[in-house]
Structure 1
């Protein structure tokens, strides 16, 4: 059973996007880490921040392999400057984070995003040669009236993993399967049994499902990138 230990955390003061400074933290990794990682949070007006539980647990998986992991708040969230831009400017926030990782580490990047952060992050990361793999957690189609589209998926040629609760109301299985028909191989989808959008349990299976989500990430990263735990 992997330990998912968390590395040292430090605040990042020099991450700037087009709307201003972005609040960010880095979980430091090993000097010999083969990759760095970026994790993006869910919908800011709905309370999504870099401290979201799913985002935090995704970070822990990357950290278990000794990878440096950057999390940041989108514009207008937490202490980040600017105002929410309905997903448009937020793509440039992701690009600023990718640029920061490139400048500071000069290593290939792995991406994971949850919900809004998955859609927006994938839009920015797909086709970027610095990004060698992407993970979409709770990939949304329709969330509280917000429509999420995926016409960009055909350009996502890097390895992709999608992890979704089988009781996620924002990601009906039939719709997700239609969306992912556009996703070129290699693509893998894992449905977490008895999990809702936040990888919590449902009434007939109330135990949290975050550990199952983490295990799916962990196994895929070992299989796809031959990573070893630190």
Structure 2
């Protein structure tokens, strides 16, 4: 099996979205991955996003990561969060059309974690079955996800304890306020971008892939 991702162009609400797609011939599921903030150098090539892609690839999943509007070769400009959720929805529809009936996992990091959560909530409301939602260092203090998350999809939140970008205590308080059952994993001595902790991140994600 080839582990090489192929560049693809996806029609988004503001024009073409640049993406990388890996089609696993015997995929046990499909995964879409959302990158950090577009205005803070976030792209689909971020090292945390790349690490997530490799973990799920090696576990036998087909994968899709993409650039939000205005990033890389993606058309458009920053959409204040709402536009990026629409981008993620278009990308998810593209992926699901190619893998009908295959279980979907949604992942995101930082700003992308909140986009991923809102995407999962929208898909769940439409009746789409979701295997799991992973939210890494979600920027919930700056991105309103209230009432937008899925209620039935299993949720794993992974938060670095030494995060210098997202306030850990704000994430912990948000986690406490959630009505749905979920798992909060605190990563000790870990910065926002998981410097020196990417192997630990792999070890946390891999056993939670259903």
2:46 is the counterpart of 1:52:
yes
Q: CA deviation at 1:174?
A: 2.8
Residues 6 and 39 (structure 1), Cα distance of their counterparts in 2 relative to 1, 3 Å cut: farther
Q: CA deviation at 1:176?
A: 1.4
Residues 109-118 or 155-164, more deviating: 155-164
Residues 161-180 of structure 1 aligned to structure 2 (within 5 Å): 161-180=156-175
2:209 is the counterpart of 1:213:
no
Residues 130 and 21 (structure 1), Cα distance of their counterparts in 2 relative to 1, 3 Å cut: farther
Aligned length: 205
Q: Which residue of 2 aligns with 1:228?
A: none
Q: CA deviation at 1:149?
A: 2.5
Write the distance in 1 (CA, Å) between the matches of 2:186 and 2:2. Answer: 26
Q: Secondary structure at the match of 1:199?
A: coil
Match for 1:7 among 3, 24, 28?
3
2:39 is the counterpart of 1:40:
no
Q: Which residue of 2 aligns with 1:75?
A: 69
Residues 138-177 of structure 1 show CA distances to partners (whole Å, capped at 9, x for unaligned) of: 11234xxxx2233126643200111111011333333212
Residues 22 and 122 (structure 1), Cα distance of their counterparts in 2 relative to 1, 3 Å cut: same
Q: Point out where structure 1 has 5 or more consecutive residues left out of the alignment.
A: 201-207, 226-230
Radius of gyration: which is bigger? 1
Q: Point out where structure 2 has 5 or more consecutive residues left out of the alignment.
A: none
Stretches of 4+ aligned residues off by more than 6 angstroms: none
Normalised TM-score (structure 1): 0.83
Normalised TM-score (structure 2): 0.91
2:155 is the counterpart of 1:160:
yes
Q: CA deviation at 1:27?
A: 2.2
Q: CA deviation at 1:127?
A: 4.7
Give the superposed CA RMSD: 1.8
Write the distance in 1 (CA, Å) between the matches of 2:203 and 2:180. Answer: 22
Write the distance in 2 (CA, Å) between the matches of 1:196 and 1:130. Answer: 33
CA contact (8 A) 1:10 1:26 kept: yes
Residues 96-107 of structure 1 aligned to structure 2 (within 5 Å): 96-106=90-100, 107=102
2:82 is the counterpart of 1:94:
no
